[in-house]
Amino acid sequence: MPRHARYVPHGVIPAVLLPFENDLSIDEASFRAHLRDVAAVEGLSAVTINAHSTEVASCTFDEQRRVLDIAQDEIGARLPVVNGIWADGSLEAARLARMADQGGASALLVFPPAPFTLGQNPAMALAHVKHIADATDLPLIIFQYPLATGQGYPKDTLLKMCEEVPSIRAIKDWIGNVPHHEWHIRTLQNLPSPVNVLSTHSAWLFSSLVLGCNGLLSGSGSVIADLQAQLFRAVQGNDLAAAKRVNDRIEPMARVFYADPFVDMHNRMKEALVLLGKLPRAVVRPPLVKIERAEIARIRQALIDAGLLDKNARKDAA
């Protein structure tokens, strides 16, 4: 299996979508085409699979392994593949980590266990991450949720994790609080063994990147990876005028993708790719359901406003 040795998560990392057939099975042909389309964007550091964007909560272990196999086959020789580790229990998380390691992944995105919504302490957080780290030497990206969810890690816990688990090389930052987000950037990226902050504040990505993130990891990269790469390059080059111009194109998409209910964000991204002629259908697995035509019309207008779709394109594409 292709593997990118000593990969350190950084830069622009889209999280791709997972297309389904009408019978809810994986549409492998469309997934392959989607992977090739996203990976063709200039300026990417890696691509993420088996995460929120691929509806990982609805995928079996075998399906997740198949998703990784397809990604490696299509783009693994070109880009590192980041594999999500989504499990409520640490033993299953370690099993997924071993599978991803054996399958050629270059890094792991570690989701917090759902039981933490009922409360956690530093020992629990460390135990979960250490079970994964003991199963593989791949670099880990810790997914930092908002503290209000119960699944986010308080500052002291996060620092202890970074200190005791040297394979933690980045966080995917969804803390949702600007001063706390800036603390992550200033503190973690300046540790003796730096931990990169990858923003997933995709509803306010420009503001987030200006604070100094060393990268971004975003599901909306499944649709606008090129715009995200342009924005990141402009901010890194301190060209804020150019960054603002790119952000003006991103904003209509962010507004429709991240509207309430938030859980429909990747549902909406599938509809956007159908409108762009890049997916044949926008099927999601339950409990998600297809969004209404009025919302699809708003997505279509956002694509037009972003300069991604001609205003004369077919209105019945979705």
Pairing of strands 11-14, 140-144: unpaired
What are the sequence ranges of the domains in the chain? 11-239
How far apart CA 244 and CA 221 sit, in angstroms, is: 18
In this model, does residue 318 exceed pLDDT 50?
no
Element (H, E) at 142: strand 140-144
pLDDT at 317 over 80: no
Is residue 193 within 8 A of residue 167, CB to CB? The reply is: no
Query: Residue 218: helix, strand or coil by DSSP?
Result: strand
In this prediction, residues 63-69 reach a mean pLDDT of: 98
Q: What are phi and psi of 137, to 5 degrees?
A: -100, 10
Confidence bin at 315 (pLDDT 50/70/90): low
The C-alpha atoms of residue 311 and residue 303 are separated, in whole angstroms, by 9
Tokens of 33: 């085409």
CA distance 219 to 122: 29
What band does 263 get if pLDDT is binned at 50, 70 and 90?
very high
- Is the pLDDT reported for residue 2 higher than 80? no
Q: What is the mean pLDDT of residues 135-146?
A: 98
pTM of structure: 0.96
Nearest CA-CA partner of 19 in 7, 37, 4 = 37
Closest Cα to residue 232, out of 41, 75, 53, 51? 41
Answer yes or no: are the C-beta atoms of 19 and 28 closer than 8 Å.
Answer: no
Taking Cα atoms as reference points, which of 111, 134, 3 lies closest to residue 53?
111
CATH superfamily for 11-239 is: Aldolase class I (3.20.20.70)
> What's residue 1's pLDDT?
53
Q: What is the pLDDT of residue 314?
A: 63
Q: What is the pLDDT of residue 298?
A: 98
Whether the predicted pLDDT of 196 surpasses 60: yes
**Cα separation of 49 and 245, whole Å?**
30
State what percent of residues in the chain have pLDDT above 70: 97
Determine the straight-line distance between the first and last CA of the chain, rounded to whole angstroms: 37
pLDDT in tens, 7-59: 999 999 999 999 999 999 999 999 999 999 999 999 999 999 999 999 999 99
pLDDT for 313 = 72
Distance set, CA 180 to CA 6, 61, 167, 177, 184 (Å): 29, 34, 23, 5, 6
Transcribe 162-200 into DSSP letters: HHH-TTEEEEEE----HHHHHHHHHHHTTSSS--EEEE-
In this prediction, residues 276-299 reach a mean pLDDT of: 98
CB 165 within 8 A of CB 133: yes
Q: Which is it for strands 140-144 and 107-110: parallel, antiparallel or unpaired?
A: parallel
Q: Is the pLDDT of residue 311 over 90?
A: no
Mean pLDDT of the chain: 96
Q: What is the mean pLDDT of residues 190-214?
A: 98
What's the pLDDT tens digit per position in 81-112? 999 999 999 999 999 999 999 999 999 999 99
- Using pLDDT thresholds of 50, 70 and 90, give the confidence band for residue 190: very high
